[in-house]
Amino acid sequence: MANKEAKAKKENKNKKSFFKDFKAELKKVSWPTPKQLVNNTTAVVTIVIITAVIVFALDVVFETLNKHGVDKIKEVIGTENTVENTNTENTTEDTNTNNTEGENTTVENPEASSEENTEAENNAE
């Protein structure tokens, strides 16, 4: 029992000494004067505002550059696709025209025709 009471007293003494030491340390702190506090607060707020304005300006500039850059790229790609589509359509139309002509006319083998003509000439002699 004596042991428990001694421990309890020691803990109370430690708690009291902690708060006394804490209070003594706070008295040693050099607190800023109201004038210094206002000056320091003004400096911090000013720096934060300046930084925010710079970040906002950079954001607007990069967003604008990105928008115009993307629009230009779309424009370039759009014109290239239009040219390619036009070329593809022209090629397709030419192929279709050739197929249509090929369907309407019969193509003779020029070599066979010349051989037949030669044979016919020989027979005629």
Give the pLDDT means over successive 10-residue stretches in the chain (125 positions).
Answer: 66 79 91 95 98 97 88 81 66 56 52 55 58
- This model's pTM is above 0.85: no
Assign 107 to helix, strand or coil. Answer: coil
Cβ neighbors of 32 (< 8 A, separation 6 or more) are: 40
For the four alpha carbons of 45, 51, 52 and 53, in that order, the dihedral sign comes to: positive
